[in-house]
């Protein structure tokens, strides 16, 4: 079973669990897709089968239409979390890394138009490539983290955790009201603006300042 890796490429030893994902947590991204600002965090889940390493090839199902990249900060859960306050929330987080929330955009648009769930567009096998993770203790100001995605050497997305509508602690607390978070689970914190389609052969580089980087190439399924 795939194990999360830290920024020194050593096994952390946590099992791979579910990813609870947050949609529409950056205003500029909401505006670029002409979506409404949600009254509360918009949540959906990716299963463990969606998670793959952000290394070598990233396989996208191009036969199902455009597959968009959505780079996000990912919180790796290290302790059970249920019904916690914002003040307690980050105590259960092991570390922070990067995740690509791969999204079949046309499929998602069709589902949204029918008022149906998004899982066909968001939770398919391999839809959550993951970088390594930096222990939270090495991140004195996680809410100031900056991150970016380059495609073929060009910056596509630049994110600043300080621009989140809901902070990391607020998201973990909100998620824990509905879903128990177990060691090895993830909370994906939303994507900044700049999302767009990936093409076979594209070379990707995701980075979180000088703290970590991950590289891969896109391949058609």
- Residue 82 sits in a domain whose CATH number is 3.90.850.10
User: Per residue in 147-167, pLDDT tens?
Assistant: 999 999 999 999 999 999 999
Residue 158 lies in a domain: yes
> Does 13 reside within a domain?
no
Query: Does residue 98 lie in a domain region?
Result: yes
| Number of domains the chain contains | 1
Q: Report residue 211 as tokens.
A: 């703290």
- Kindly report, residue by residue over 48-87, the tens digit of the pLDDT: 999 999 988 999 998 999 999 999 999 999 999 999 999 9
User: What DSSP letter does each residue of 142-178 carry, written as one string?
Assistant: GGG-EEEEEETTEEEEEEEGGG-SS-HHHHHHHHHHH
Element housing 115 (H / E) = none
Rounded to the nearest integer, the mean pLDDT of the chain is 93
6 is a domain residue: no
CA angle 136, 166, 85 (to 5 degrees): 65
Q: Would residue 194 count as lying in a domain?
A: yes
Confidence of residue 2 (pLDDT cuts 50, 70, 90): very low
DSSP state of 94: E
- Spatial CA neighbour of 209 closest among 161, 173, 166, 169: 161
Residues 81 and 9 sit within 8 Å (Cβ to Cβ) = no
User: How far, in Å, CA of 199 to CA of 60, rounded?
Assistant: 9
Q: Is residue 96 part of a domain?
A: yes
Sheet with strand 203-208: strands edge to edge = 57-60, 212-220, 203-208, 146-151, 154-160
- Give mean pLDDT, residues 175-183: 97
Report yes or no on 78 lying in a domain. Answer: yes
Residue 14 lies in a domain: no
| pLDDT attached to residue 32 | 80
End-to-end, the C-alpha distance of the chain in Å comes to 21
When pLDDT is averaged across residues 92-111 and rounded to a whole number, the result is 96
Tell me the pTM. 0.95
pLDDT for the residue 125? 96
φ, ψ of residue 156 in degrees (nearest 5): -100, -40
pLDDT digits (tens, 9 = 90+) for 122-132: 999 999 999 99
3-state helix, strand and coil shares in percent for the chain, rounded to the nearest 5? 25, 40, 40
The residue segments making up the domain with residue 99 are 19-220
Can you tell me the distance from the alpha carbon of 43 to that of 173, in angstroms, rounded to the nearest whole number?
Answer: 13
Averaged pLDDT, 25-38: 82
């Amino acid at each position: 079973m795939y194990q999360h890796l830290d920024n020194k490429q050593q096994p952390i030893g946590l099992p791979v669990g579910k990813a609870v994902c947050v949609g529409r947590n950056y205003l500029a991204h909401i505006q670029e897709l002409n979506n409404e600002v949600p009254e509360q965090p918009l949540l959906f889940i990716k299963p463990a089968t969606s998670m793959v390493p952000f290394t070598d090839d990233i396989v996208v199902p191009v036969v199902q239409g455009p597959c968009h990249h959505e780079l996000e900060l990912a919180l790796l859960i290290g302790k059970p979390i249920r019904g916690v306050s914002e003040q307690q929330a980050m105590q259960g987080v092991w570390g922070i890394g990067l995740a690509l929330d791969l999204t079949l955009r046309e499929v998602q648009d069709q589902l949204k138009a029918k008022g149906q769930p998004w899982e066909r567009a968001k939770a398919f096998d391999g839809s959550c490539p993951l970088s390594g993770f930096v222990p939270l203790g090495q991140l004195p100001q996680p809410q100031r983290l900056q991150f970016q995605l380059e495609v073929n050497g060009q910056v596509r997305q630049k994110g600043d955790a300080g621009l989140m509508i809901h902070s990391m602690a607020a998201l973990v607390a909100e998620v824990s009201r509905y879903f128990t978070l177990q060691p090895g689970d993830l909370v994906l914190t939303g994507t900044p603006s700049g999302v767009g389609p990936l093409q076979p052969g594209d070379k990707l580089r995701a980075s979180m300042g000088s703290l970590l980087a991950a590289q891969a190439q896109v391949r058609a399924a």
